Structure formats: structure tokens, C-alpha cells
Chains A and B, each alone.
Chain A
Amino acid sequence: MAIVVTVTSGKGGVGKTTSSAAIAAGLAQAGHRTVVIDFDVGLRNLDLVMGVERRVVFDFVSVISGEASLNQALIQDKRLERLSILAASQTKDKDALTEDGVGQVIEQLSDMGFEYIVCDSPAGIERGATMALYFADHAVIVTNPEVSSVRDSDRILGILQSKSKHAEEGGRVNEHLLITRYDPVRVDQGEMLSKEDVCDILAVKLIGVIPESKAVLKASNTGFPVILDAESDAGMAYSDAVARFLGEDRPLRFVTPKKQGLLSRILGGGD
């Protein structure tokens, strides 16, 4: 059976889609057959971040409604042979995501030999989000280092451990904390919560801290997962996070302010 990894947060705009794309690409890079599904019916973002928006003909909802087969809807990534994408539809209504429908798609993907199914959850706690987490074996909780985001993450963790299939059957979903858009300078100045604060409030195992980085915007504008930008800080941080998810022990990077050289201090800027 494939392992279902849901990327969720409660709050919008914290980096779920960026992280879903990075994690899925990272798992594929590590040799695992992976599919990433966009649950954000109506918004449809993942295909842009993955750079496949022109190749979307059928989507997740058309598979559930029986309009298309899974084979027709799956988009094979051109850079990573083990990675496929199942896009969300821009138009169809959110009620199209039924528990049976989603369950069947996950089962078929398993039968096709996928090892990991990464679910990119929409914001909020409504249908799309609860469907994305219902079948989760693992949940990656994406949190920004600020109070409202942490609070929403806490709430989604409560839903995860009460409304998911595992919870209903008396089990638990494995929780992993991923802190994104972390700016060590602002943390030092007390404008953002530190990673210690966030871990302390949520009491979930930390799998990564992704720095606030210009590489992320550049990557999504050009349509490739930032993890493939192996030179960038965010790319390296995501690689570390995926390695830790797979059980490797790696020290955290990019969590303290960079030491500025004399020259860049004089000239200003210098990131």
C-alpha cells in the first residue's frame, strides 16, 4: 500500500504548495515512485509551481467523476521520471471530492505501484482540507513562525487526530513539523517566533526549517520545485527535510543570521 503524506496547515499562504512540490520531488529524487495531488479545487496552484499548467487536460475531479481515467489525468514530470502530478480543477465545485471517490483514487494509485502519495491541502478546515487529511498516514504540518499560523496548525492537528481514518480506527497519524519562511534575523529581533517557541507550543517532531528565500519565488515563477535548485538555501533546507522524513539524521542549517562581511556591511544589503 502506498504511503499517504498530507501537507497541511490550516492557514493559507504559509508554503503548503511550495512544500508539497518540494517534498514530492525530493522523494522521487531519493528513488521513490511518487505522485503529488492538488486538493485545492478552485484555486489550482500546484501545476504552476510544478511547471505543468499547459499539460493539464483532465484533473483529480474528472477522475473521481468518471470523466477520465487516472492514466489520462496523471501528468508525468519531465525532469524526474519517478514523479507524477494530479492537478486540481479550476472550475468544478468542491463537493466533487467525496470520501469514496478520493479513497478509490488512492487505492488505484497504490495498485499502480506508487510508493508515496503527497496530498497538497487547501487552507481552512473545510471539505478540501478534511478530504486531504482523511487518508493520511503522515502529516507534514507547515507553519510560519508567527502566532496565528501556529494556532491554526494546532487546530489542524486536533482535527487530524480526531477526523482522519487512522484516528477513527483508533490509531494515529504520524506528525511532522515543517517551519517555513524562517528569517533568523527577524527572530533575533523578536519579530518572529523562534523555532524553539514553535516546537514548544506544538509539541511535534521538527523535520525542517526552510528559510525565507528569494529562490522560492524564482523557482515557482519558472515552474520547477525549489528543491531542484540545489545551490539555493531553501533547496538545501528542503533536501534536508526530506532526508529527515526518510529517517536520516541531519543538523539544521540556515537557522542563525548570516555573518555579514565588512564590505557588505559598508555597502548595505548583502543577503
Chain B
Amino acid sequence: MMPAPQIRLTRYSVMTLEWPKDSEPLEHWLRGQREIAPSLMQEIAIILRPSVDHKSEDIRHAVDTLGRLGVGLIGLTGDSCHRATATTLGLAWLSSNTSSVESDVGPSQIPADSAREAALVIEGPVRSGVQIYAKDRDLVVIGQVSEGAEIMADGHVHVYGRLRGRVAAGVGGQTGAEIFCVMFEPELVSIGGTYCGDEQIPSNLWSARVRVRLDTNAQTLTFTSMG
């Protein structure tokens, strides 16, 4: 029998780029972000939320910039005054209503066990220049992660070794993802798209056994000792 096409209701994790009026120029900001986390911006679907005060021209310009920087923009959201602009630019329009509902239940949850694959287990060392991404699952690294290496997962990240590289959990926007590490000396940490560099890590937790979570209210990372 011939398989029939199907339309199914599927929920994807996407990132929203909040773009306030009079912010730092997008191009400059994005280049900066890419420098601290080169791969985080790749293979990630993004929706742009301009402010009410942005002109259609501003948005067109921003869309060009994102395209040039290789950001996978899939649509616009925000005030309905921008809906027409989305159509002219050939982008999808996501009404604010749906996207706020989605963000409450969807991306912040890591899918239930039955829907998830087993963790990706990697034997280290993970060397400088190497990137590992555990899509839709947890990542377990046994051994060290060198400075200049990048480890990422949509789920939690566990490192049983010295972590000196960059680490990102909840890359697809799963704000409930966490990072666990037995020797914590990272260059950069990110959960659900919220980043921080090594200067923001409490000095008493450097080299320690550390657990990292995202405080969704404050949009900051919290670091605690695992003793």
C-alpha cells in the first residue's frame, strides 16, 4: 500500500529572539554571541520578536542580517501590526498568543521518558575543536572535555571528568535541563539559551563538583555544589 501524506500536530522547540527597539545593533550582538558560542546558533530554528515600534523597514533589514549570519529564521511573532511584514518577507507568522502558551508547557519540559532516546554516552577526552551534540537526549561524557571543545544536548549534560570546554544543556530551549559535573572549569555554560562565561561562576565552585540549573524567573544560571 502506498503511504499517505499526513498532517500531524507536532511540537518543536524553537528559540525566540527578543528584539527591543533601540537595542544594540543585531548584527553586532549576534557576532558577539557567536564568538562566545560558535555552534549554539547553528542548526537552531529561531523566531524573531520585534517590538511594536519597529518599522517594517527595520525588520526587513534584520531579516537580511540574520540570513547573512546563517541564523535559521522561520518566522516572526509579536504585535499583530507586523503580520503583513511577515507575509511580504515570505516568513511564517506566529501569533503571540500561541507562542506564549507554548512556552509554558512545551519547550521548558524535557520530554517524558517514553518519548526519549537513551543518553548519548561518549568516552573522552573530548578534544579542542571537537563538537558533540546529543539531539533530543541527555549527554554523558566519561573523561575530560578540553578547552576549545563543545558539548551540547537538548537534555541534561553529565561530565565525569574535568570540564574545561563549553557546555550547553537544553539547547532546543528546554529550560528544565541541567548540567552535572565532577570537576567544573568551563569556558562557557548555557542552559535553555541563557549563557554565562567563566567569570560569573562563583570562585568557590571552581574545580568543584557542581550542578547548574536555570532560574527561569530571573533568567540566570544557578550553581550549587554537589558536595
Determine if chain A interacts with chain B: yes
Q: Which residues of B lie under 8 Å from residue A201 when comparing CB positions? A: 146-147
Instruction: Determine whether A158 belongs to the interface, using a CB cutoff of 8 Å to chain B.
Output: yes
Residue of A nearest to B161 (CB): A203
B128 touching A155, Cβ below 8 Å: yes
Say whether B176 faces chain A, with CB atoms less than 8 Å apart: no
Decide: A161 and B127 in contact? CB cutoff 8 A: yes
Asked whether, in the complex, the Cβ of B127 is within 8 Å of the Cβ of A157, the reply is yes
Query: Is A162 close to B, CB under 8 A?
Result: yes
Q: Is the CB of B130 within 8 A of A151?
A: no
**A-contacting residues, B107-131, CB 8 Å:** 125-130
Bound CA–CA A242/B146 (angstroms): 28
- Distance of A162 Cα from B146 Cα, bound (Å): 15
Q: Chain A contacts of B129 at CB under 8 A?
A: 154-155, 158-159
B106 at interface by CB-CB < 8 Å: no
Q: Which residues of A contact B144 (CB under 8 A)?
A: 203
Q: How far is B146's CA from A159's CA once the two chains are assembled, in angstroms?
A: 13
Contacts of A181-207 to chain B: CB distance below 8 A? 201, 203
**Are B125 and A157 within 8 A (Cβ)?**
yes
Find out whether the CB atom of B130 lies under 8 angstroms from the CB atom of A158. Answer: yes
Q: Mark A156-188, 1 if CB is under 8 A from B, else 0.
A: 011101100000000000000000000000000
Contact B143 A154 (CB under 8 A): no
Q: CA of A167 to CA of B5 in the docked complex: distance in angstroms?
A: 40
Q: Once the chains are docked, how many angstroms separate the CA of A201 from the CA of B147?
A: 9
Q: What's the minimum C-beta distance from A55 to chain B, rounded to whole angstroms?
A: 39
Least distance between A175 CB and chain B CB atoms (Å):
10
Cβ distance B145 to chain A, nearest Cβ, rounded Å? 11
Is the beta-carbon distance between A158 and B147 smaller than 8 angstroms? no
Which chain A residues have a beta carbon within 8 Å of chain B's beta carbons?
A: 151, 154-155, 157-159, 161-162, 201, 203
17 extra A-B contacts, CB within 8 A, seeds A154-B127, A203-B144:
A151-B128, A151-B148, A154-B128, A154-B146, A154-B147, A157-B127, A158-B126, A158-B127, A158-B128, A158-B130, A158-B146, A158-B149, A159-B129, A162-B130, A201-B146, A201-B147, A203-B143
